[in-house]
Amino acid sequence: MLIAGYELTGSFISNAVFSLLSQPDQQIGPVQFRAGDQVLLDMDAAHSDPAHFTDGERLDLTRDSGMHLQFGHGIHYCIGAPLARVEGQIALESLVRRFPGLRLSVPASEISHSKNPFIRSLTALPVEFEAQRPEG
């Protein structure tokens, strides 16, 4: 519950901020595997499948996201999905409102991800913004 409730939501928010500030350019090619091989499903790859998503690697907030699998599917569908959505909405809206000039302070190509194969999280997200004068 701690990993699901903290690690995933934290990674989701930093990944979302990074995507908002840049454009992902990862390529996922076809892979062959044999019967009996163990396969770790990569939801990010599923969401880049051109058979189902147009330009799936590009952040497009107008895209119909009804088919996405980010919270799983079926009987084990994530019980924390509504909480994660609220946390993400509050975090992203607060960031955009409080730091209007927010931008990456390094080229997007310099941003790296952790080596954890289960959770896609950023190693760091350096940003810069203009200091705001206090109101009043």
Q: Which residues bind ligand HEM (CB under 6 A)?
A: 1, 4-5, 8-9, 12, 70-72, 76, 78-80, 83-84
Which residue is nearest to ligand HEM, using beta carbons?
80
Least distance (Å) between residue 85 CB and ligand HEM: 8
Count CA within 13 A, CB hemisphere, residue 92: 19
14 versus 111: smaller Cβ distance to ligand HEM:
14
Least distance (Å) between residue 113 CB and ligand HEM: 15
Phi and psi dihedrals of 104, rounded to 5? -65, 140
86 versus 106: smaller Cβ distance to ligand HEM:
86
Least distance (Å) between residue 1 CB and ligand HEM: 6
77 versus 129: smaller Cβ distance to ligand HEM:
77
Least distance (Å) between residue 91 CB and ligand HEM: 11
SS (H, E, C) the chain: CHHHHHHHHHHHHHHHHHHHHCCCCCCCCCCCCCCCCCCCCCHHHHCCCCCCCCCCCCCCCCCCCCCCCCCCCHHHCCCCHHHHHHHHHHHHHHHHHHCCCCEECCCHHHCCECCCCCCCCECCCCEECCCCCCCC
72 versus 100: smaller Cβ distance to ligand HEM:
72
